Amino acid sequence: MEKKMFKTGMGKTIVGSIVLVMVILSFLAILIYFAMNTLYGKSILKADTYGEYVYIDALYLSKPFGEDESGGQYLFVTTEEGDKYHDYMLRLSKEDFNREDIQKLIRESYSPDAKPEILRLKGYMMESAQELDELAQQYYGQYVGQDVEDASEYLGSVVLDYSGNENILKHISLQIVLLWVFLLSVIIFGFIELIKTIRKQKKKSEKIELAKELFERDADYRKGMEEVNLPDTVFYKQCQCYITQNYVVTYQNGLEVFPISQIKELYGYDKTGQNMALTLMFGWIAGHRTHHYLVAVTSDNEVHMFADLTHVTDTHNQMVAQMIQKNHNITLGRNTTTFHDIQSDLPMLKLTKVPGFYGNADVWTGRTNDTFVVE
């Protein structure tokens, strides 16, 4: 019995933390993947959708084989993948075509002794028009130095529309921004949850260590634990709490023992929180948490928060009725309801009908040493 109550739950926390870290890292990897593809483009070799922002590492560039009405120049571009070469059509604006690095690569591509340096070109992968495909068919054989029956077998039906020095944010859609915000929010709030979990475990472990010390040196504390084995002790499994003849013994959030005779005030405390990581992933309902505690303030002005339930049930009614029967001086709730006020209703006590019993105001703040409070 003692061994069970002295457990810190460290193993469960470690497993939960590992799972949370894996979730955080997974979302981080997804965020990095989308950010890289959005900001730097996807390799045209892996792109499969018209309109995608892509890049090509140009090894060779041809001389122009066509021109559109706005002066845009059409060239063939070659990229390398392992020991294979892939050719595409490329559109450059008149200004970009005249850039020194573009002209240099074109010159080197036709020089047998030159070793061209790879030039990364970014833009949008667009579907080529029939007129452009027919024009490419006429000139592609000259570029590769052999007769080509069907140029589309090598060039496909795409053209890379070079975007030049376009503002990098221009091609980022609102949907992409919202996706980034979502992923980043999950990561941030997941990290916050991880910190909260570690802090809570640290407090619980410290509380267990204090309980061990008290068990060794405090006869009254030890007596309370011994009373859990008496036949008239009631165990409330739902919140891991014993109400003995003289003590409350709870180990839900770390072992704690205090005399019922020393309780002067009893409250219901509703603590609402939001697990933001779960909220972002599965919705507000999945992440919403309301914990209903019993809070006992003892004569030494120590606060004891225990009997944590996620739903208000008859468990709290039974526990409070049992305690107030043993100590008639306990006042209930924020309106200081006394034993005499509820004496006739005690067998069927409903704490939800006791004015001011449940609430989210921690009226005990400022008069406690917070020794046992575990948030």
Cβ atoms of 256 and 349 within 8 Å: the answer is no
Instruction: Tell me: pLDDT of 372 over 50.
Output: no
Q: How many whole angstroms separate alpha carbon 184 and alpha carbon 30? A: 10
Least confidently predicted of 173-187, 231-245, 273-287, 292-306:
273-287
Cβ atoms of 235 and 331 within 8 Å: the answer is no
Q: How many whole angstroms separate alpha carbon 35 and alpha carbon 183? A: 11
Cα angle 8, 12, 17; round to 5: 115
Average pLDDT over residues 142-165: 89
Distance of CA 165 to the CA centre of its chain: 35
Q: What are phi and psi of 309, to 5 degrees?
A: -130, 145
Least confidently predicted of 56-60, 133-137, 184-188, 235-239:
184-188
Instruction: Tell me: pLDDT of 317 over 60.
Output: yes
Least confidently predicted of 82-86, 224-228, 240-244:
224-228
Identify which has the larger pLDDT, 372 or 162. 162
SS3 313: coil
Least confidently predicted of 160-169, 345-354, 366-375:
366-375
Instruction: Tell me: pLDDT of 105 over 80.
Output: yes
Average pLDDT over residues 172-184: 81
Residue 148: which residues within 8 A CB-CB, separation 6 or more? 137, 140, 141, 154
Identify which has the larger pLDDT, 180 or 128. 128
Please write the tens of the pLDDT for every residue from 268-297: 998 877 665 566 556 656 566 788 999 999
Least confidently predicted of 200-204, 319-323, 338-342, 350-354:
200-204
Name the β-bridge partners of 73: 67, 92
Q: Give me the half-sphere count of Cα atoms (radius 13 Å) on the Cβ side of residue 143.
A: 27
Q: How many whole angstroms separate alpha carbon 260 and alpha carbon 349? A: 18
- CA dist 89 → 53, 103, 144, 209, 334 (Å): 15, 17, 13, 72, 78
Least confidently predicted of 90-99, 130-139, 310-319:
310-319
Instruction: Tell me: pLDDT of 215 over 90.
Output: no
DSSP assignment of 214-272 equals HHHH-HHHHHHHHGGGSTT-EEEGGGTEEE-SSEEEE-BTB-EEEEGGGEEEEEEEEEE
Instruction: Tell me: pLDDT of 370 over 60.
Output: no
For residue 375, the model assigns a pLDDT of: 39
Average pLDDT along the chain: 85
- CA dist 2 → 203, 224, 289, 362 (Å): 20, 12, 31, 31
With bands split at pLDDT 50, 70 and 90, how would you rate the model's confidence at 249? very high
Q: How many whole angstroms separate alpha carbon 24 and alpha carbon 190? A: 6
Q: How many whole angstroms separate alpha carbon 118 and alpha carbon 133? A: 26
- Give which of 164, 155, 166 is closest to 75, Cα–Cα: 155
Q: How many whole angstroms separate alpha carbon 43 and alpha carbon 53? A: 9
Q: How many whole angstroms separate alpha carbon 110 and alpha carbon 147? A: 18
Instruction: Tell me: pLDDT of 169 over 80.
Output: no
Long-range contact pairs involving 306-312 (C-beta distance under 8 Å, separation at least 24): 306/239, 306/241, 306/248, 306/250, 306/252, 306/253, 306/256, 307/236, 307/239, 307/241, 307/250, 307/252, 308/239, 308/252, 308/253, 309/238, 309/239, 312/351, 312/352, 312/358
Please write the tens of the pLDDT for every residue from 8-53: 677 888 888 898 899 889 999 998 888 877 777 788 999 888 988 8
With tokens 């003892």, the residue in question is: 298
For residue 85, the model assigns a pLDDT of: 93
Provide the residue type at 318 as one letter: Q
